[in-house]
Amino acid sequence: MINFDDLYSVLTAVVPLYVTMFLAYASVKWNIFSPQQCGGINRFVAIFAVPLLSFEFISRINPYKMNLKFIAADGVSKILTLIVLFLWTNLSKNGSLDWAITMFSLSTLPNTLVMGIPLLKSMYGDDKESIMVQAVVLQCIIWYTLLLFLFEYREAKNLILTSGGGNNISKSNSNNSSISNSQRNDESFCVVQERVERSTRNEDDIVNVIQSLNRVAPAIATAVDDDKRELHLFIWRCRCCSSPSACEQSVEVRNRENEKAESVEEPNIIESPGSPSMLKKILKMVCFKLVKNPNSYASILGLSWALASCRWGIKKPQILENSVTILSDAGLGMAMFSLGLFMASQPKLIACGNKLAAYGMVARFVAGPAVMAVASIGVGLRGTILQVSIVQASLPQGIVPFVFAREYNLHPDVLSTAVIFGMIISLPITMLYYILLGL
Amino acid sequence: MINFDDLYSVLTAVVPLYVTMFLAYASVKWNIFSPQQCGGINRFVAIFAVPLLSFEFISRINPYKMNLKFIAADGVSKILTLIVLFLWTNLSKNGSLDWAITMFSLSTLPNTLVMGIPLLKSMYGDDKESIMVQAVVLQCIIWYTLLLFLFEYREAKNLILTSGGGNNISKSNSNNSSISNSQRNDESFCVVQERVERSTRNEDDIVNVIQSLNRVAPAIATAVDDDKRELHLFIWRCRCCSSPSACEQSVEVRNRENEKAESVEEPNIIESPGSPSMLKKILKMVCFKLVKNPNSYASILGLSWALASCRWGIKKPQILENSVTILSDAGLGMAMFSLGLFMASQPKLIACGNKLAAYGMVARFVAGPAVMAVASIGVGLRGTILQVSIVQASLPQGIVPFVFAREYNLHPDVLSTAVIFGMIISLPITMLYYILLGL
């Protein structure tokens, strides 16, 4: 039975997260930070604070003493969801790959690192922290990679549908000044172009999101300004650009992404998205994205360190430890601050309309925990770990799936609503789960 | 006698500070952050992280158990320095108020909060932390206020010298469209204008420093962009502006500062800077600046809380405590990060020339500790506290005096060199003091 003291100690851990978020929200509304300045803070969070925070948590676990049942429950729940969504996509008339991916993000990928660890620790004690860290590790290493794969698979499928197969796009890349007269080629080129642009966008994570969603003009002005020096490399134009400034942007992106893109874009698009060589290309693109994401390094380095240190009993030298914690200590607060900045930059809290928002909330706060409960009981979890497992599934939406959704332009409004509106309503919902499960 | 373990534990505390600074330095050099984005991080540090960090430290001390001898030594050393500088200004042929102010900053105001607390704690143990916090409190509440007073006194003096007395500048403020034909009036107006602009700059602390010192153009572009909406309030031009864009800037500044400036600028400049009514005006300006500085609030609130909590044995509610620490935990790392960003934004590490830099270093690392040693021994400090007192005087230059110097345009290059170059050479010097005093 949960008493008032338990509840108070949970509030003690959670309210500061919301205070920080609100502070950021208010400072944008009061014009303390310009959009560019918000971009700087978000970029700091994406590149330094959060990866160092993940590293710090992951490197402290004992990978030889993982809770295998919890890991199994987590895996089973996600695979169950995937199977259901796969069947729906292929067998139902309403089924679509697009919505399957979004539903997967919504129902299985909560915010474990920033919200989960402090919340679950305050609810179930310090020793349950390691369960949450295990969830973080699995999410970073397995589930985000799978999600990226799904996005890239969809991208490849759409590219084939758009180009209708048979256009060798790499030709138009190698020949800068001559542009094919075929309208179709232009279009498919645009898709590739967009794709390359999007893969650049990945670098900036949530930064560009904030800059571009709300106040596009100054953000573009800044980008053009900052990167002018790269422009001289070569000038390369396409007919599909709607305005000269859009074209300039493409040129820049092209310049920066030139070599990388070459390796990725040799479509020979006659193949189906499921063919082995297409799969190889998709996997290549996934790797390319993972290599550019600081969180990948944080997870892999953290896990490697954990494996090595537990095997050979090595400890991090204190100087190294302190060098990481000096910035990772900033991670939690800064991540919440960044979320508040993002919230304030959105024109509406519910961007996707009330109906979609309601579906999203059901997926996040009802379907997700329900599937997790079934899977957990199925693999034999009982007692506190079962409670932890269900409550962590009812946390607000994770940020990374939103960043991907934005990057691939797949229902970003739904995911943004899930993150923002989800944060607001998650506290009572998560507390309700906590109280009900504690009865 | 200091052994290797002692030294290692000090390095353990200090090296991470430098690692963080270097990380920031490298990320600017690698173009990870644009100047605007650096501005965002610096602004976050200036408005939230550092004030919350001061509050957190100050609110934890026991003001009824301050180390009175240390406080006396600190006061005596600063007053001694002031007396020497006052005599030099008034009696020596080479003496000048300008250099007296700069020498006072250099020799008596080290970086106690960010560098001092972690360093001294690692050298002399956790219980000596409170000594450093006391130094922080005194600096924030007394010495920065005095420094501001000196700057404003000099400003008033210069204003009188420039206007030659007798011009009523407030006239040109109240009458927007008509500009006097007198060249002198234009000039004195420019001084006021510059002053108002500078007082705006205060808001942005180190932000604008970074933006304006190094890459002026994009910063102005952004500022104009961001604040366009304020421009319509009224258009007001002066002949002294060198370009239309400079004029637009003045207009904006004028708009924002309109009311505040009115209260401040009624010079009736016939008086001498030492007259009571002039002193009153200077004090008014000092208050106006203090009111705009988040650190003032942090110190006063922190001290008030400390007084109340120690008197009546109240404890901060855990929710409040956590709401502060979630961001103040970020303070140390973020402050060092911000310092690294600043360093990278400077065209040179030694901005003021080698000769001035050498004088500055002597003032900071030799004269400062020497005067402190004399004062400390004079008031009867002995043993560890004497060592603490001397070592803390040999810390690198504080940031706030640099921000003031930049704001009042008084040897900002010398102070910038003291901050940047001082950081680099301070580690061996401070360690040397530590080892020598420990013999």
Q: Which of A49, A323, A334 sits opposite B16 (nearest CB)?
A: A323
Rounded CA separation B341/B43 (Å): 12
Mean pLDDT, residues A28-42: 91
User: Of A400, A384, A402, A392, nearest to A426 (Cα)?
Assistant: A392
Residue A290 has pLDDT above 90, yes or no: no
Residues A326, A59, B11: CA angle, nearest 5 degrees: 35
Q: How many CB pairs under 8 A join A and B?
A: 133
In this prediction, residue B409 carries a pLDDT of 87
Which among A34, A224, A229 is the top mutation candidate for probing chain B, defined by the most B β-carbons within 10 Å of its own β-carbon?
A: A34
Residue B20 has pLDDT above 70, yes or no: yes
In this prediction, residue A218 carries a pLDDT of 36
CA separation, residue A307 to residues A34, A64, A71, A143 (Å): 43, 8, 17, 20
B-chain residue closest to A203, CA distance: B32
Long-range (24+ apart) CB contacts under 8 A made by A271-276 are: A271/A160, A272/A160, A273/A153, A273/A156, A273/A157, A273/A160
Length of chain B: 439
Cβ–Cβ < 8 Å for A408, A97? no
Mark out chain B residues that contact chain A at CB-CB < 8 A: 9, 11-13, 15-17, 19-20, 23, 27, 31-34, 36-41, 43-44, 47-48, 207, 218, 221-222, 225-226, 318-319, 322-323, 325-327, 329-330, 332-334, 336-337
A-chain residue closest to B320, CA distance: A16
Residue B22 has pLDDT above 80, yes or no: yes
Q: What is the phi/psi pair of residue A30, to 5°?
A: -90, 10
Rounded CA separation A70/A138 (Å): 11
In this prediction, residue A89 carries a pLDDT of 92
Per-residue pLDDT band for A410 (boundaries 50, 70, 90) equals: very high
In this prediction, residue B1 carries a pLDDT of 66
Residue A174 has pLDDT above 60, yes or no: no
Decide if A40 and B17 are in contact by the 8 Å CB cutoff.
no
In this prediction, residue B85 carries a pLDDT of 94
- Poorest-pLDDT segment among A216-230, A351-365, A404-418: A216-230
Q: Is B110 helix (H, G, I), strand (E, B) or coil?
A: strand
In this prediction, residue A156 carries a pLDDT of 85
Cβ–Cβ < 8 Å for B163, B269? yes
Decide if B20 and A318 are in contact by the 8 Å CB cutoff.
no
Q: At what angle do helices A216-226 and B216-227 cross, to 10 degrees?
A: 170
DSSP state of B269: T
- Poorest-pLDDT segment among A91-105, A284-298, B114-128, B222-236: B222-236
pLDDT digit string, tens, across residues B408-430: 889 988 998 898 888 888 888 98
DSSP state of A243: S
The separation between CA A214 and the C-alpha centre of its own chain, rounded to angstroms, equals 20
A226 contacts on B by Cβ (under 8 Å):
31, 34, 218
B330 contacts on A by Cβ (under 8 Å):
49, 329-330, 333-334
CA separation, residue B140 to residues A73, A305, B54, B110, B299 (Å): 55, 43, 9, 12, 7
B36 contacts on A by Cβ (under 8 Å):
34, 36-37, 39-40, 222
Of the two residues B161 and B294, the one the predictor is more confident about is: B294
Cβ–Cβ < 8 Å for A343, A375? no
B23 contacts on A by Cβ (under 8 Å):
48, 327
Whose tokens are 């009867």? That residue is: B380
Residue B244 has pLDDT above 70, yes or no: no
Where does B164-275 have alpha helices with state H?
A: 169-174, 183-204, 206-214, 216-227, 244-264
Residue A353 structure tokens:
């309309």
Q: Which of B13, B39, B221 sits opposite A40 (nearest CB)?
A: B39
User: Of A436, A395, A392, A430, nearest to A67 (Cα)?
Assistant: A392
In this prediction, residue B128 carries a pLDDT of 86
Q: What is the mean pLDDT of chain A?
A: 77
Which stretches does DSSP call E strand in A296-380? none
Which among B44, B204, B220 is the top mutation candidate for probing chain A, defined by the most A β-carbons within 10 Å of its own β-carbon?
A: B44
Q: Which of A15, A16, A225 sits opposite B218 (nearest CB)?
A: A225
User: Of A399, A74, A145, A146, nearest to A296 (Cα)?
Assistant: A145
Rounded CA separation A140/A113 (Å): 10
In this prediction, residue A273 carries a pLDDT of 66
Question: Looking at CA atoms only, how far is residue A426 from chain B in angstroms?
Answer: 19
In this prediction, residue B232 carries a pLDDT of 23
Torsion of CA A352, A357, A360, A366, to 10 degrees: 170
In this prediction, residue B288 carries a pLDDT of 86
In one-letter notation, the amino acid at residue B138 is: L
Decide if B34 and A37 are in contact by the 8 Å CB cutoff.
no
Question: Looking at CA atoms only, how far is residue B341 from chain A in angstroms?
Answer: 12
Question: Looking at CA atoms only, how far is residue A415 from chain B in angstroms?
Answer: 26
Decide if A34 and B48 are in contact by the 8 Å CB cutoff.
no
Mean pLDDT, residues B58-81: 92
Long-range (24+ apart) CB contacts under 8 A made by A27-33 are: A27/A341, A27/A344, A27/B47, A28/A340, A28/A341, A28/A344, A28/A345, A29/A344, A32/B43, A32/B47, A33/A341, A33/B40, A33/B43, A33/B44
Long-range (24+ apart) CB contacts under 8 A made by B240-249 are: B240/B186, B240/B187, B240/B189, B240/B190, B240/B193, B245/B220, B248/B224, B249/B197, B249/B220, B249/B223, B249/B224
In this prediction, residue B83 carries a pLDDT of 95
Residue A429 has pLDDT above 70, yes or no: yes
Mean pLDDT, residues B219-235: 32
Residue B293 structure tokens:
């500085």
In this prediction, residue B140 carries a pLDDT of 86
In this prediction, residue A406 carries a pLDDT of 82
A323 contacts on B by Cβ (under 8 Å):
15-16, 19-20
Decide if B330 and A326 are in contact by the 8 Å CB cutoff.
no
User: Of A253, A305, A260, A262, nearest to A174 (Cα)?
Assistant: A262
In this prediction, residue B273 carries a pLDDT of 66
CA separation, residue A242 to residues A139, A183, A222, A246, A247 (Å): 39, 15, 20, 7, 8
- Poorest-pLDDT segment among A327-331, B53-57, B162-166: B162-166
Per-residue pLDDT band for B97 (boundaries 50, 70, 90) equals: very high
Class of residue B236 by CB neighbours under 10 A (exposed 0-12, middle 13-18, buried 19+): middle
User: Of B122, B19, B18, B116, nearest to B70 (Cα)?
Assistant: B116
- What are residue A110's DSSP bridge partners? A397
Decide if B319 and A40 are in contact by the 8 Å CB cutoff.
no
- Poorest-pLDDT segment among A433-437, B195-199, B338-342: B195-199
A9 contacts on B by Cβ (under 8 Å):
318
pLDDT digit string, tens, across residues A107-117: 999 999 888 99
Q: What is the phi/psi pair of residue A110, to 5°?
A: -80, 175
B336 contacts on A by Cβ (under 8 Å):
326
Where does B92-205 have alpha helices with state H?
A: 97-108, 117-124, 129-138, 144-163, 169-174, 183-204
Q: What is the ipTM of this complex?
A: 0.74
Cβ–Cβ < 8 Å for B134, B61? yes
What percent of chain B clears pLDDT 70, i.e. is strictly above it? 74
In this prediction, residue A164 carries a pLDDT of 58
B323 contacts on A by Cβ (under 8 Å):
15-16, 19-20
Length of chain A: 439
Decide if B19 and A334 are in contact by the 8 Å CB cutoff.
no
Of the two residues B216 and B350, the one the predictor is more confident about is: B350
Contacts of B45 (CB under 8 A, 6+ apart): B206, B331, B334, B335, B337, B338
A15 contacts on B by Cβ (under 8 Å):
319, 322-323
Mean pLDDT, residues B245-265: 40
DSSP state of B143: I
User: Of B281, B259, B288, nearest to B199 (Cα)?
Assistant: B288
In this prediction, residue A105 carries a pLDDT of 94
In this prediction, residue A5 carries a pLDDT of 85
Cβ–Cβ < 8 Å for B139, B60? no
pLDDT digit string, tens, across residues A43-78: 898 889 989 998 998 898 889 989 999 999 999 999
Decide if B222 and A34 are in contact by the 8 Å CB cutoff.
yes
Rounded CA separation B414/B395 (Å): 17
pLDDT digit string, tens, across residues B332-345: 899 889 889 988 88
Decide if B222 and A334 are in contact by the 8 Å CB cutoff.
no
pLDDT digit string, tens, across residues B280-339: 888 888 888 888 888 889 989 999 999 999 999 888 899 999 999 999 988 889 988 988
Residue A286 structure tokens:
């996934």
Whose tokens are 């670098």? That residue is: A203
In this prediction, residue A270 carries a pLDDT of 52
Largest Cα separation within chain B, whole Å, is 74
Mean pLDDT, residues A121-149: 89
Of the two residues B393 and A182, the one the predictor is more confident about is: B393
Decide if B16 and A322 are in contact by the 8 Å CB cutoff.
yes
Q: Which of B12, B38, B329 sits opposite A318 (nearest CB)?
A: B12
For A387-408, give the DSSP string. HHHHHHHTSPBPHHHHHHHHHT
pLDDT digit string, tens, across residues A199-216: 444 434 443 333 333 333
Mark out chain A residues that contact chain B at CB-CB < 8 A: 9, 11-13, 15-17, 19-20, 23, 27, 32-34, 36-41, 43-44, 47-49, 207, 218, 221-222, 225-226, 318-319, 322-323, 325-327, 329-330, 332-334, 336-337
- Poorest-pLDDT segment among A404-413, B38-47, B201-210: B201-210
Residue B172 has pLDDT above 50, yes or no: no
Cβ–Cβ < 8 Å for B57, B113? yes
- What are residue A397's DSSP bridge partners? A110
Q: Which of B12, B17, B43 sits opposite A33 (nearest CB)?
A: B43
Half-sphere exposure of A173 (CA within 13 A, CB side): 24
Decide if B37 and A34 are in contact by the 8 Å CB cutoff.
no
Residue A168 has pLDDT above 50, yes or no: no
Decide if B222 and A226 are in contact by the 8 Å CB cutoff.
no
In this prediction, residue B26 carries a pLDDT of 95
